[in-house]
Every structure is written in C-alpha cells, then in structure tokens.
Structure 1
Amino acid sequence: MSGHPTQTSVPRDPQRPEPGHAPRPLPVGRTTPLDPPAEFQLLRAELPVAPLAFPDGPAGWLVTRYEDVRAALADPRLSSRRPHLNSHIRASLITPAEMAVLRPSDLLTSDPPEHTRLRRLVTGQFTARRMNQLTGRIQAIVDEHLDALAAAPQPADLMRAVALPVPSLVISELLGVPFADRDQYQRLTAELLSLDRSREQLLASKAEMKTYLVQLIGLRRADPADDLISGLLKAQQSDPSLSDEEIAALAQLILIAGHETTANVIGLAALLLLRPPRLWDQVRRRPELVDNVIEETLRFATVLQFGLLRVAREPLTIAGQSIAAGERVVLHLPAANRDSARFTDPDRFDVHRTDAGRHLSFGHGPHHCLGDQLARIELRTVLTSMLHRFPDLRLAADPDTIPTHRQRVVYGLAELPVHTAA
C-alpha cells in the first residue's frame, strides 16, 4: 500500500459495530516477555482494521499491518490532536480543559501549522554540531557507569547501573536539566507513563512536572548555557508566540522520550543477546553487527507497546475499511513491526537481518522521532562498550521470569540481573 488511503464520502455511525465484528478491547496480554500479544497475528491476517472498544467514548479502529500503519502515519487526514494520550488504554482521567492548563499541545499532540512551527524550533536545537559534541561525552558517561557495574556486588542490576542512568545523564546535559534532579524527574516520568494511577495522582504528577520545568526555564533565562532549553529561550526572542508553557511541554516530551525509551531499548537489547542461544559471543566477535542489533531490537521489541492514537479529520478508508470523521484510530507499531508481509520470519530475533531498519519504532512522516540520531549514538556506544568490556557477561536469572513494565506506555525491563565475569 502506498500514498493515502482512499477517501470515501459515506459516513458511518461510530456507535454501530461492523456486521459480524463487535468492537473488542486492545489486546495487551503477553505470553512471553519479548513478544507482543498473540492476537495480533490473527488480526493482521483476517481483520487488519479491526473495530476497537475504547475505555471511554464510542468504538474506534485498530490498524495492525505494516503498510497500512506506515501510510496512516503520514496521512494528514489523521490528526494527532486528542484529549488524552492514552485514551485507548484507560479511561481519560483528565478533562481537555485540565490538560490544556497542565500542558499545551506539543510535538506529539499537534498538527500543522502548529506542529510545523514547534518542530522547526526543536530541530534547530538537534544540530549535527551538538550531536558531535555529545559523542565524546556519551562515551565518558558510559565508561564511568560500566566501571560502576564492574565494581557492584554480583549479581548486579544492569538496568539500575547502566541502562537507566546513562540516557538520563545524556538527556540532562542536552536539555540543561540538572542531573542532580534525576530522582525527581525519573519518578515523575514513571508516574506519567504508568497506567495504574488515580486521577488525583496523575494530576499531581503533571502539575509537579510543569512546575519543575517552568522554574528551570526561569533559571536558564537568568543564566543561559549551551543547552536546548537555553536555545529555545533564545528562539523565543525572535518568536514571541513561543510561550514558556510551550517550552516546558517540549522539554517534558524530550526529557521523557530521551531517557525512558532509550533506557528500555538498552535493557531489551542486552537481554536478547544474553538469553539462549547467547548471541552476545557472536556479536562480540563481529562488532560490525552492533548497528543491526540496534535496529532489530527496535523492530522486534518495540517499546511503544500500545501504539499511537490518531483521530480522523474527514472520512477515509484504510485497507478497504471506511473510517468516519471524528473516529479514533490506533496505529499499532509492535504489530506492524512483526508483519510477515514486510519482514521475513518476523517473530525471530535475527542480528543479520538486513532490512530491520525499515521498522516503524521511530514513527514515519511528519511525526518521525527527532531524537533518533541521538538514540542510535547512545545505543551504539553502550552496546559496543559492554561487548568489549564484559566478554563473559551473563544473565543471573531465567529470562522468562525477569519482571517487565507491562503497565506502562513504554515497555521494558524492571530489572536485569547479570554477572559481569565468568
């Protein structure tokens, strides 16, 4: 499938399910820690655009095939504006008015021309110069934390010792967020991404995050540095429409995406290499495979586990299914990345896969992730350094029993116990 789905002029009653297919909740139950729910195989084959029951409001649609998801990600008729990021997973706990006060639209929840304006501002801060400057610093940060891993009592938790602190420190330096505040923003990130919070808890976390970032913006305005927040404040001088609240929303998105997703990919990549048949040794002997490992991990173990939510601006069709204006559509990235029509033997983790980089884990189209280059630099540095430093690294637990974050928007490991030496 290519281009936009075919438009139709026949609206459909969003309250009425399609004949023979009643809306069903999003599949979320995993039988193994590293595989998405098995139901997606059947949906891709038999019902690639399936009626989806939402926790709140009328039914919508779930899209699971690679080509359909890819085309929909780039289709301007599907809007990113929505009242709540996770309304296909849990009932909305916060009203649109409350959300507007706590956080204005950001890159995830805006459309052109607003999205174009915000993205241009942030793109100007993700310069090649800044990325190149960070490369040496990333290596120093990694080396420091690998030293700590080696010195830690065995077994050591790779997530706590390396996977979590390294991206946190990198994104702190990029943004201009004091690393000394990491306990606060890591706690807030976990709270904002968790699905088991009450309305009062979620409101409190959102308010605390906004207050923290607005105060930090004030500090950077008084004492600018060579960081992203200072750069946005400089851009504000020539673009008065850029408010402090928008800068705070952009900083929150980059802060959360910049450390939470990368940290979980690090942990999942290590687990995939260390579990039987222990590909760690093969990749250690052939370090040129590291980039393939990164792309294959992003494809095979997609961390945005519940997909992306869009809202139809106007009637359209996807894979022959009519979508009415106003209906919600979930584009399921993990299901798309396991589509056998796009990837040969997709349920096998293959470090030699040559087309793994065609995954959709960084999105596609106008909302393609701005931080993909930084994430790849971090992942490459961490994995290459660990392979060299710890040739005998091994798991200290059954890989099928390692606890995971099944109740968070971003999937990953709660811990990864390892022995660093034979």
Structure 2
Amino acid sequence: MTEIINCPVAHEREVRQFPFDRPGCPMEPSGTYAELRSTEPVSKISLRLNGREAWLLTRFEDIREMLSDPRFSADMTNPGYPLQFEFPMELIGKVKPALLHMDPPEHTKNRMMLMPELTVKKVASLTPRTEEVVDECIDNILELGKDGTPVDLVEHLAMPVPAIGMAEMMDIAHEEKELFTRWVTLLVTQGDGEEHADLNMRVEMLLYKLIAERSVNPGDDLISTLTQRNIKAGKPLDDSEVSALVRAMIAAGHESTVNGIAIGCMVLLNHPEQAQLLRDKPELSGPAVDEILRYSSISDHGTVRVATEDVVIGGQLIKAGEGVVCSLSAGNHDPAVYDNPNTLDLTRKEARHSLAFGYGRHMCAGQTLVRMQLQTVFTKLFTRIPTIKQAVPLEELPFKSFYQALIDGLHALPVTF
C-alpha cells in the first residue's frame, strides 16, 4: 500500500485561487509554484472561473505519474472535472467530445484512426510547402518593414503559417477557415459561454456537410483521407466521431502553434545570445524548439483530469470524483529534473523529454508537425533577418491574459530590423 505522507487536515490547508498571479515578466512561472514544489507539491486550489476546488500538481514526476495513470479521466462530463472555460453545463455531453476529452476505448479507437496523418514520414512530406509559406511570410515582413516601420510578427508570421497549412491540409475554403479560426480562439479562452455553444454547433454542422460530400467525392485532403480510411475499415467511427477528430486537429494545430511561434520568437528576441547560437549552429534547431517549449510552457494549466477512484499521488490521497490540474510550467521548471530551470539553454539535452506536449495516452498526437513548423519558423526568421529586434519593451507587449486563456500567447509582437 502506498504511504500517504502529505495529508494535512482540511482546516489547516490553504486553498489558493488559481491561476496564480505572475509578478514581473508575464512569461515567468509564478513564484508560488516553486514554493509549493518544496512545501505542498499536491495542493488544493479554487478555480477563479467558477470557484470549483481541485488539486494542483507542481512536481515533474507527480505530473507524469498522474497522466500515465488510467484511474484519471479526461471526460469533461464528469461532475468533478475542473472546467476552466465558460460553457453551458446543460450542453456538455450533447456535442461529441474532441480527442482531448475522450477516455479509452473511444480515445484509442479515434487516435489510431488519426495517427497515420501525423507520422514522421507524413510530416516530412509537408516540410517543403511549410518552408515555402514561411519564406513568403518573411518576404512580406521584409517588404513591410523596409523603411523601419514596425511589423507585427503575430499577424504576419505566427497566424498565417499554421492557418495556411491547416487550410491546405483539409481543403477548407476561405470563409470556412474564418469560422474555424474564431471557434478555436474562443475554445481556449474564458469567453462567452453562449458563443462557445453557438460556434460549436456551427462547426459541427459544417464538418458533417464536408464529411458527407467527401465520402462520395473524396479529394486529396485530410477530411477525405480520414473519411475513406473509416469506410475501408468498416466505419468503426460514425460521422460525429470523424468530426471530433477533425476538430481536434484544427484546435491543436492552430491556436497552440500560433502562440508557440509568437512566444518562441519573443523568447529568442529577449535572449539575443541564444538567437545568435541558433544562427551559428542551425543544426541546433530541433533541440532549440524543445528548449523553447520547455522554457515557455505556453499551455501551463490546461491539462486537467478527474479521479475515477481513490488514488495517492505524491503522498496525497486524491478521492474519486476530485479534479486535478497539472501545471506544466511548474513541472518543466522543476530543479529536480532541470539544472538552472529558469535559464534558456538551447544546448540543453533533457528538454526533449519535457512536459510541453503532455504525457501518457493523451500526449499531443501532432507534436511532430508542431515541432517541424516551429523549427522552420525560428531557423528561417533569425537567419534571414539577423538584425531583427523587438520594437517595444517586454513589459509593453500585449500578452493574452493567463486568467482568461488556457494557452499563453501575444496579441501582437512588433519588430524592426
């Protein structure tokens, strides 16, 4: 039996509001994480959004243990699920969940259907077109800023690279792409719950239409490929499940990549010696992406679960029905795993095994694609524009509020060169 070594009685435990405040640079992990890792690594929190209580994990090993434990569920219909965005509770369960919110065996069945589209070989075939798109974006940036006018990297690089890539992969028309972009943006923010529900239904109906059309007249796109693979397999997935897979691809492939590019560029702009190292040694581009993802941890508190039975994690009893929030930022800055964790070091070897893409059965299926896109962007941008610099001080950048978004990002990143 696992010994419970950290179980203070309820009246002695401080229940902190979460997310925590971030004094200083908005991208620095909250100092509370370091405090909790050493004093109360599994601690009770109260979610700012709805007051619901949950457990917070701040140690790397505890997070990995929990995410690999089948006794924790990703099903958001569970009453104890620590929901962190507005959504009408009466509608939860009526819309087919995305891959992120599925448990086995549904999760296994759906993920296996999607994985052939995200292999190393498949991503390698997408690399040349990604390089073309990035070069076209940089050409545009050079033209816009040739007279010294600041150019916004979010608008002219971070947003178009994944948007063009996803639209071409799925053969989504321009007007449809705008709907998906708005849906994804609202999906990861604490916005209006009714608008969440409305956009979910509109996206669902559009995807049903595209799935029906491409079941009969398939093209050379992701929706057609998934649909045809499903038909050849005897239709193990119904249309709602195929729709959920496509929604998962769009959600994971757009917003996280936009923010990963924006925050990654900002990180390198504020660490010029590391940016120069990347220019001098382009072979470091792969490790550089891993270290930037570890260091920035843009999806800090969006990884959540609910216990389906009593479990002990980090010496703390978590009862069935209780929610758990993982701070990936806290885990990725755990000094027990990383030397000088608050230092950006593009030569860091252990960054490849960070929690940036999660862990366990829900580890990001598209991580190879995301890595390729970020690697292409960072290498080309800082090589082709070696004099690039941030146009405003760090403290004046318009960061997305971490109280209102599950993925950290920037509204704008103005640069000159």
CA distance in 1, matches of 2:329, 2:291: 12
Q: CA RMSD in A?
A: 2.4
1:126 corresponds in structure 2 to: 118
1:342 corresponds in structure 2 to: 337
2:63 corresponds in structure 1 to: 69
Alpha-carbon deviations, 1:181-236, whole Å to 9, x = none? 333322221122221x2332222222222223222223323431222211221132
1:93 corresponds in structure 2 to: 87
Q: Cα 1:70–1:179, aligned 2, differ >3 Å: closer, same or farther?
A: farther
| Structure 1 residue corresponding to 2:212, chosen from 211, 215, 218 | 218
Instruction: Write the letter of the residue equivalent to 1:228.
Output: L
Identity %: 32
Instruction: Say whether residues 1:40 and 2:40 are aligned partners.
Output: no
How far is 1:43 from its partner? 0.9
| Structure 1 residue corresponding to 2:407, chosen from 387, 406, 410 | 410
2:103 corresponds in structure 1 to: 111
How far is 1:283 from its partner? 2.0
CA distance in 2, matches of 1:113, 1:402: 44
CA distance in 1, matches of 2:285, 2:124: 20
**Aligned to 1:409, what secondary structure does the other structure show?**
coil
**Aligned to 1:360, what secondary structure does the other structure show?**
coil
Q: Is the 8 A contact 1:84 1:92 kept in 2?
A: no
| Structure 1 residue corresponding to 2:76, chosen from 74, 82, 87 | 82
Q: Is the 8 A contact 1:44 1:65 kept in 2?
A: yes
Instruction: Say whether residues 1:204 and 2:198 are aligned partners.
Output: yes
How far is 1:365 from its partner? 1.3
How far is 1:66 from its partner? 0.3
Segments of structure 2 that go 5 or more residues without pairing to the other structure are: none
How far is 1:155 from its partner? 0.6
Q: Is the 8 A contact 2:80 2:306 kept in 1?
A: no
1:333 corresponds in structure 2 to: 328
Residue correspondence of structure 1 range 297-316 to structure 2 within 5 A: 297-316=292-311
Alpha-carbon deviations, 1:103-125, whole Å to 9, x = none? 31332111111111111111133
| Structure 2 residue corresponding to 1:260, chosen from 238, 247, 255 | 255
Residue correspondence of structure 1 range 51-70 to structure 2 within 5 A: 51-54=44-47, 56=50, 59-70=53-64
CA distance in 1, matches of 2:411, 2:69: 35
Residue correspondence of structure 1 range 113-262 to structure 2 within 5 A: 113-153=105-145, 154-179=149-174, 181-195=176-190, 197-237=191-231, 238-262=233-257
How far is 1:180 from its partner? 5.4
CA distance in 2, matches of 1:289, 1:122: 30
How far is 1:248 from its partner? 1.4
1:367 corresponds in structure 2 to: 362
CA distance in 1, matches of 2:31, 2:235: 50
How far is 1:22 from its partner? 3.3
Segments of structure 1 that go 5 or more residues without pairing to the other structure are: none
Q: Higher mean Cα deviation, 268-277 or 338-347?
A: 268-277
CA distance in 2, matches of 1:227, 1:150: 32
Q: Cα 1:187–1:69, aligned 2, differ >3 Å: closer, same or farther?
A: same
Q: Cα 1:224–1:134, aligned 2, differ >3 Å: closer, same or farther?
A: same
CA distance in 2, matches of 1:26, 1:363: 20
**Aligned to 1:115, what secondary structure does the other structure show?**
helix
CA distance in 1, matches of 2:360, 2:87: 30
1:27 corresponds in structure 2 to: 19
**Aligned to 1:214, what secondary structure does the other structure show?**
helix
Instruction: Say whether residues 1:354 and 2:349 are aligned partners.
Output: yes
Alpha-carbon deviations, 1:364-422, whole Å to 9, x = none? 11111111111111111111111221111111111221111122111111111011x3x
Q: Is the 8 A contact 1:23 1:51 kept in 2?
A: yes
Instruction: Write the letter of the residue equivalent to 1:98.
Output: L
CA distance in 2, matches of 1:56, 1:161: 36
Instruction: Write the letter of the residue equivalent to 1:75.
Output: D
Q: Is the 8 A contact 1:17 1:59 kept in 2?
A: no
Q: TM-score, normalised by structure 2?
A: 0.91
**Aligned to 2:118, what secondary structure does the other structure show?**
coil
**Aligned to 1:60, what secondary structure does the other structure show?**
strand
Instruction: Say whether residues 1:386 and 2:359 are aligned partners.
Output: no
Q: Is the 8 A contact 1:43 1:50 kept in 2?
A: yes
Q: Cα 1:317–1:170, aligned 2, differ >3 Å: closer, same or farther?
A: same
CA distance in 1, matches of 2:2, 2:214: 48
Q: Cα 1:84–1:199, aligned 2, differ >3 Å: closer, same or farther?
A: farther
How far is 1:89 from its partner? 5.9
1:283 corresponds in structure 2 to: 278
Q: Cα 1:350–1:358, aligned 2, differ >3 Å: closer, same or farther?
A: same
